[in-house]
Structure formats: structure tokens, C-alpha cells
């Protein structure tokens, strides 16, 4: 059984929604006749992608019919569908009304949120942790939703700098927060396995919004607590 998948080109984050660049569809859902995205846990694949993987194996000089590779195209197709499932997610579905009245306006921080993504330049993995802080403005969000929002943007072809900014912009939009700060730390296989082949380097990217950008004292407090 195959499931048709409409992939949404990554044109950045605008007002909390994805823009697909084709149909002008900006309401956070996918233009496939369904309002809600399929859950990331549901395994599906595109048979055409499976055929492309088989062609790739042949071009590499392999025999797709040998025992170890017979089901590899199917496995790769399913794996890539999962690893890029962020294209099929909407923030509205992920957050699922987990916004609550704020009882304070003090800084909220969640550290060490693991994420895995694929570099858009070589389609090799990069992985690491995100640290998120925000200052509520009448609304707070369920803590687990912060991790899910990271996954929405991590599970697609990405660059770390954009990923960091998209998470910050999404939270500012969803919460109308007084301030948001996001730090990501990641290791990139495109630097480790190829090219310069540096195994111990890591990349840090930051995105600061609102008071956490403009107020030096609040910014310093976040940086100290997120360290």
C-alpha cells in the first residue's frame, strides 16, 4: 500500500505557518485534501522513491538483488519518510491546544532537547541539543510541546541556523511571548565524515527575540541558566 505524500518546499517560517510555494497554502495544513497531518509514527513510503534508491545502489556498483540489499530500497524509503516527517506536520496539530493561562511572567527554560536533522547541502545527519527559554505574556505552553516544536523543524532538510530561528519565531507567534531565546549545539556529519573530517568540532547557533534580545540582564540570565 502506498501513501501519496505532498512535500512542502522549505521557504522559511512566516507567521507560524509553512508556505509551499506552489498553491499559496498558508494555513499550517497540507494541501492533500486532509486537514490534519498523518502522525509521524505511521510508516509510509513512496514507491517511486524506493525505485530511486534501487537505481542509486546500481549506480554505486552494487547488486540490489543480493541478499543484504533486497529490502534496502524499501527500508531507505521508509527511513527518509520518517526523517523528513517535519514537512507533514503542522504547529496547530503538534501543539493541540496545549496553551494555558500564565500565572507569572518569569523566565521559563527547557534545556537539552535532543534533535536529529539532515543537512540540506549533503543530506548527511547533524544532531545535538536545543535550549529554549521564553518570558510568558499571558500564555504558557506544555513543556513537552517545546520538544515537539523542535522536531517539526528538525525533521526536514535543514541548516542549523534556520532551524534555530524557526523554533524561536514559532514560539513568539504561538505565545505572543515577551521574549524568546533558542540555542542549538550540534555536530555535523558533513564535517566529520567528509571534507575537513574534524571529529570533535561542534556548532552553536542562537536566536533571540523580544526582551531576551533587547534586555542585557535577561539575556545574561538565560545564557547563564542554559549553559
Q: What are the structural domains of the chain? A: 13-88 (1.10.286.10), 98-226 (3.30.1130.10)
In whole angstroms, give the CA distance from residue 30 to residue 19: 10
Look at residue 45 in the predicted model and tell me its pLDDT: 67
Q: Of the residues 54, 158, 160, 178, which is catalytic?
A: 160
Q: Of the residues 30, 119, 158, 166, which is catalytic?
A: 119
pLDDT-derived band at 197 (thresholds 50, 70, 90) equals confident
Active-site residue 17, yes or no?
A: no
36-82, pLDDT tens digit by residue? 444 444 456 678 999 999 999 999 999 999 999 999 999 999 999 99
Burial level of 22, CB count in 10 A (0-12/13-18/19+)?
exposed
Helix (H) or strand (E) holding 213, with range, is helix 211-214
Active-site residue 122, yes or no?
A: yes
Active-site residue 160, yes or no?
A: yes
Q: Of the residues 35, 43, 114, 120, which is catalytic?
A: 120
Active-site residue 199, yes or no?
A: no
Look at residue 1 in the predicted model and tell me its pLDDT: 36
Q: Of the residues 92, 122, 185, 221, which is catalytic?
A: 122
89-123, pLDDT tens digit by residue? 999 999 998 999 988 899 999 999 999 999 999 99
Active-site residue 121, yes or no?
A: yes
pLDDT-derived band at 14 (thresholds 50, 70, 90) equals very low
For range 185-204, the mean pLDDT: 89
Active-site residue 190, yes or no?
A: yes
Look at residue 104 in the predicted model and tell me its pLDDT: 86
pLDDT at 153 over 90: yes
pLDDT-derived band at 227 (thresholds 50, 70, 90) equals confident
Look at residue 44 in the predicted model and tell me its pLDDT: 62
pTM comes to 0.79
Mean pLDDT, all residues of the chain: 84
Is-contact 188 126, C-beta < 8 A? yes
Look at residue 146 in the predicted model and tell me its pLDDT: 97
Helix (H) or strand (E) holding 191, with range, is helix 189-192
Look at residue 194 in the predicted model and tell me its pLDDT: 87
pLDDT-derived band at 200 (thresholds 50, 70, 90) equals confident
Amino acid at each position: 500500500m502506498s501513501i501519496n505524500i505532498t512535500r512542502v518546499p522549505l521557504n522559511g517560517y512566516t507567521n507560524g505557518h509553512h508556505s509551499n510555494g506552489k498553491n499559496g497554502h498558508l494555513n499550517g495544513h497540507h494541501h492533500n485534501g486532509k486537514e490534519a497531518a498523518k502522525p509521524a509514527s505511521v510508516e509510509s513510503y513512496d514507491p517511486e522513491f524506493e525505485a530511486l534508491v534501487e537505481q542509486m545502489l546500481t549506480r554505486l556498483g552494487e547488486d540490489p538483488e543480493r541478499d543484504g540489499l533486497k529490502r534496502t530500497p524499501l527500508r531507505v524509503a521508509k527511513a527518509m519518510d520518517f526523517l523528513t516527517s517535519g514537512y507533514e506536520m503542522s504547529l496547530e496539530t503538534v501543539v493541540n491546544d496545549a496553551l494555558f493561562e500564565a500565572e507569572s511572567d518569569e523566565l521559563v527554560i527547557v534545556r537539552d532537547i535532543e534533535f536529529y536533522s539532515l543537512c540540506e547541502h549533503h543530506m548527511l545527519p547533524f544532531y545535538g541539543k536545543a535550549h529554549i527559554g521564553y518570558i510568558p505574556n499571558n500564555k504558557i505552553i506544555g513543556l513537552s510541546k517545546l520538544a515537539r516544536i523542535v522536531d517539526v523543524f528538525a525533521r526536514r532538510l535543514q541548516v542549523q541556523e534556520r532551524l534555530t530561528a524557526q523554533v524561536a519565531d514559532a514560539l513568539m507567534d504561538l505565545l505572543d511571548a515577551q521574549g524568546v531565546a533558542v540555542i542549538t549545539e550540534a555536530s555535523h556529519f558533513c564535517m566529520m565524515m567528509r571534507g575537513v573530517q574534524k571529529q570533535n568540532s561542534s556548532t552553536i547557533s542562537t536566536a533571540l527575540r523580544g526582551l531576551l534580545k533587547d534586555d542585557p540582564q535577561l539575556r545574561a540570565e538565560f545564557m547563564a541558566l542554559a549553559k
